[in-house]
A and B are shown apart, each in its own frame.
Chain A
Amino acid sequence: MKKTFSIGGVHPDDKKISAGCAIEVLPTPKKVYISMAQHLGGPAKATVAAGDKVKTGQVIGEPTGFISAFVHSSVTGTVKSVGLRKDLAGIPVIHVEIDVEDDEWMDGIDTTDTIVREIPQDTKFILDRIRNNGVVGLGGATFPTNVKLCPPPDKKADILILNGAECEPYLTSDYRIMLEKSEQIVIGAALMKHVLGVERVVIGIEENKPEAIAKMKEAVASLAAGTAGYSGIEVMTLKKKYPQGGEKQLIDAVTHRQVKSMGLPIDVGVVVQNVATSLAVYEAVQKNKPLIDNTITVTGECFPKQSNLLVRVGTPLSYIVDWLGGIPETAAKAVSGGPMMGKAIANMDAATLKGTSSILFLTEEQTKRKPETNCIRCGKCAEACPMGLEPFLLNKLAKNRMYDELEENAVQDCIECGCCLYSCPANIPLLDIIRIAKGDVIRIIRSRTAPKK
């Protein structure tokens, strides 16, 4: 019996139409725009100014707090400007604009393809490399990885889960790296396992990716046979169900533990990292390479050329799309990320971030919202909610601004996976309304628990 999470979930068509496309290296553009807000927490502070020469891999932004991260230049060239530029939602963020010249990497970065398998014993060395190379979680939240790997002293992890579920339809970047860079991912896992001091690592992959499962199993077996530090790593096949890759759902699926409301995975002894993060950890520690490129899926039925591209951070989205032939006539919406949780792109001139996983084009027929009709009380939203909430009720409470009742009914537990809105036969925009109510309720909870000034 294949494992999966115990509550709710939906089964959208997986549409992995770009799965067969090997990762190609996208030529570096003429200009890159590197955002200083590429991670959860405080935005980085730019350390360069217009006119400065930068090399590939050079630090151009410093963390501004505990939860923040370094940002590096993804190219060699001259800083043209440091200033506000619109991100993909159209919100102005500080970007460093660089005119690209011939690639010259910083000293000390190993740019060869040689795989380094030996695990350094010094955990501080590993953590420093992860931090200094700007590694953040690439599963969506872009939380600084070194912080996640240093749980508070009163909490101890006993299992590390690598998230290879890639449960969103269309996305194939994780699948491709699991096929093409399986050994590096496993080495990254072993590095994090050593830092956390856990005995067990589970790499969770959904059943619709049998080739990735086979490849990862092969990599685990060969590393465990040849080198020290690779024991206790296993690949687990999971049932196909969205949102399997949600952190809380994956923990439930793999360990049958459930994170308490408003709690963190470490409370139940678990740390979850995405497979792409594991690859970034490998490159940061074993090759001393900063996180300056990532794999991006460009896909959609209406898009003529399906691809998985290795893209330098800061590449304008329009450059990527134009390189592949431009936005198709029939495209009505461009999404950064998957169709369930991704963000609609308002600004194609925005640049990629460390956490950008895809550009997805959907036609009007695929994406247009239909007019809302009466709730028929079918309960399909409650059946679909992986947190066990009752979206139909939250929707009603939110419309009447009943905040106490919203909190009682756990609106703050919503993970915004979109299952309720996806499954509603009456096309009620459940998540739109619940998302706003959730924000309000969390603010109320915070203001109640915050120390009085």
Chain B
Amino acid sequence: MNRLLVSPSPHIHTRTSTRSLMLDVVIALLPSVIVSILYYGWSAVEILASSVVFCVLLEYLITKYLLKRPCTVGDLSAVVTGIILALNLPPAAPWWVAMIGAVVAIGVAKMTFGGLGQNVFNPAITGRVFLLISFPAIMTTWDGAKGFIGGIDAVSGPTPLGIVKEGLMQGQTIDQIFAANDFSYFQMLFVNIGGSAGEISALAVIAGFIYMLARKVIRPYITLSILVTVAVFSGIFWLIDPSQYTDPLFNLLTGGVLLGSVFMATDYVTSPMSDKGGIIFGVGIGVITMLIRYFGAYPEGMSFAILIMNSTVPLINKFCKQKKYGRA
């Protein structure tokens, strides 16, 4: 006689697991990783490797020796955090910057709250913002990296957003700045002019977005509502005064808007559960990003916007419930 298991229904389970979802995110990040390595060469490899290694190692050490719990690195969420953190750093940054970023991301933002699923703020962005505030010089220097592709000049100079902010402060108009720096949208779509590793190619990020949608890892509402908000907000200002405000396409293709809206705002843990909540969350991120870009001291506001909106998620979850069956 066989011994048969007895347990409540359901008796089958989907093949999707936390690990498989995280693996899909890693795959979706690969185009951006490849572009940044091709474009920034060994320095991108170094920053990627150190960021991922430190994130995973730290989570392992914390679960094993501090929390004395089963090790959770197998779920690959630390790998995702490591890659996203690296894509947010200037490739020329030294390895110890990535290490400090990992300590803040994994050690402070993630594990002190109880590990995956418990954190309020996105770990990678928390790490990046900490670095941006602590090491402003390193975090805004784009010199010194040599790419693998011939024909592309060694990268130098600030990001397009930084150039625009600088130019406007000196009293130039947008047209003058664009002409002086030879900006082209074609370049931004494929390989940008300066920027952190993950910001340089819009197309690579979009490829990752499409992959995650196709694999049903994320739903499109958060990302799309951020992009639409950025486009509409900047569109209104640009129509009012094109000499002082950058146009919508420029705002969508530069800086961290794409990377942030696809990979960071969509983080399960720190974004709302419902689609309706996701749209509110996305609109909030879009508005705050553009307010910082147009009126703030920093040229870029995506990270701050996501962190600020992260803190509103519990409230959004409370008020945005999905429609229930048979209840008006």
Contacts and interface: CB of A to CB of B under 8 A. Distances in A.
Interface in B254-271: 268-269
B14 A376 contact: no
Interface residues on B, range: 35 or more
Contact of B118 (A252, A346, A374): A374
A431 B8 CA distance: 9
A332 B4 contact: yes
A392 B4 contact: no
A16 interface: no
B13 A382 contact: no
Interface string B4-22: 1111111111101110110
A10 interface: yes
Contacts of B4: 327, 331-334, 344-346, 348
Given A261-B327, A377-B269, A425 B9 contact: no
B326 A376 contact: no
Given A373-B75, A377-B269, A413-B324, A422 B13 contact: yes
Nearest to B322: A388
Nearest to B326: A258
A373 B11 contact: no
Interface residues of A, number: 65
Contacts of B326: 248, 258-261, 263, 387, 413
Interface string A354-374: 000000101010111110011
A382 B75 CA distance: 22
Contacts of B269: 376-377
Contacts of B6: 333, 344-346
A362 B324 CA distance: 33
Nearest to A369: B7
A431 B75 contact: no
Interface in A48-100: none
Contact of A342 (B11, B14, B219, B321): B11
A26 interface: no
Nearest to B219: A383
Given A344-B8, A378-B21, A392-B273, 7 more contacts: A7-B324, A248-B325, A261-B326, A339-B10, A340-B12, A374-B114, A427-B13
Interface of B: 2, 4-14, 16-18, 20-21, 72, 75, 77, 114-118, 219, 268-269, 273-274, 321-327
10 contacts: A333-B5, A341-B10, A342-B11, A346-B4, A382-B273, A410-B327, A413-B325, A425-B21, A426-B17, A435-B8
**Minimum-distance CB pairs A-B, first 4:** A418-B10, A388-B324, A374-B117, A379-B273
